Structure 1
Amino acid sequence: MDNKITFGGKKHTPNVRMLSDMDEVVYDRKWLENAEDRELYYMYRDLYLTEDDHTVISEYDLRYDITIIPAGMLGDEYIKTAGHFHPVVPGTIIAYPEVYQVLEGEATYLLQHDDSTDVSDVVVIRASKGDIVVIPPDYGHITINASSEDLKMANWVCTSFSSIYRPIQEKAGAAYYLLKDGFVRNPSYNSAAEIRYVKPRELPEFGLVHGKDMYELVKDPEKLRFLTRPQEFMGSLSRLIS
């Protein structure tokens, strides 16, 4: 199957997340025992429309990606990403944030704040085409496609770090799994807060507005400084899921 996309007049080949890459975090273990390995979702990284755009994006230590998550099930569970955390910005105690925009379909974002042994906060944000979702510092996150249509989403993120997958892998997934009948708690955690539901919120001061293509911020990259220096913007970032 040809999973290439065209962006900036070029064909791009994805990094493919396979079912075998997700063994640790799948809820339905009985289904997994007999499931054949297959492609789950596709990540197209470091995209740009022009070479000038690429120069600007690189100078600001940023990366623009697109991810496509086809509709489907992992046994009883809706298809999802592996889930990860971000490390802290050097010299601070604040982790790097990230921003997503739904381009097609619907997304369910699950965010969790982990303390030493517990999950102190769990937030679910359901987003549709054009919606903006900013992942605040210090929250792990997964994306779930709980719809019958393919999900296509974009993200801006700093390039100065690698995502941290191990904490979620070691707990066999996030604090909750989304099944056909709703969310169920992951028993691998000692305790987890009840889910709070939050609507997508705009950050107009950063040029992040519903329905406005956030790729266009390449023309005003200073507005994306919150991704590389979040410590300077905690006032705005702290309001996102309050």
Structure 2
Amino acid sequence: MMQGILWTLPDLLIVAAFFLFFALLGLVVSGLGQKILGRMVAETETRLVDRTQRGLRAFLVFLLALTLNDVREKFVRMDAGAAREAGEIKQLHRILEIDPSPLAAQERALLREYSGVIADDEWKTLGTEPPELSPRADRVLSELRQLVKSRAMSGRDFEGSAIWAGLNQLEDLRQGRLLQAQSSTAPLFWIVIGLMMFLECLMTTESKMNRRRKITLGGYYGALGMIVGLILIFERPFCGGTRLSAEPFRQVSRLLDH
């Protein structure tokens, strides 16, 4: 329930929530580590722990930064893929404009309707858990395929064959969009990250936690939390404030029928 409420918040508040949660959790675990392990009195022992902690911190930041870059690149690719898919629909619409027949006019109307359903309905269904394609879009696409099928199977209508091939291409792009929406970072990755952060917190060996040290440690753990929050936001490309734009499909749905 809390997870559902969290993802309804604006992205800025989600990042702030992750900052506060990780900052508080990091300070609590650090305090727990001091009570359990105590202060490292020997200089060689302290030096070893500090070196290990610095190495663990650097590797942790590297892993999170690398993952954030990967999900951001995936988001950019999906945005470009949506624009390409909308461009394919627009191209099919232009091809059908050559044919003045009532059948072609009906096919153009279905293409515009399909684009509108993608923008208004499928973007929502892809943002659900688990992501899924829109049944409304399935019905419109099926109706369009039935209209084009007879002309394509005759073999004498080049326009019908081109539209049929274009519809197959649209279906491939649509399935690819679904697969990308379903992909996410493996749970094992987050388990490893959580264990590394826990161990790193336990290595805080100073016995006195003054205000400045608490602010420094809280800011560090909070920054890690913000990175985790950004990763999770980019992994939900069809919901929230930082979601993919469906405007290319809306533009196609508003094309005039010449």
- TM-score normalised by the shorter chain: which range applies? under 0.3
Larger Cα Rg: Structure 1 or Structure 2? 2
Which structure has more RCO (C-alpha within 8 Å, separation ≥ 6)? 2
Return the structure number with greater strand share. Answer: 1
TM-score, normalising length from structure 1? 0.20
Return the structure number with greater helix share. Answer: 2
TM-score, normalising length from structure 2? 0.19
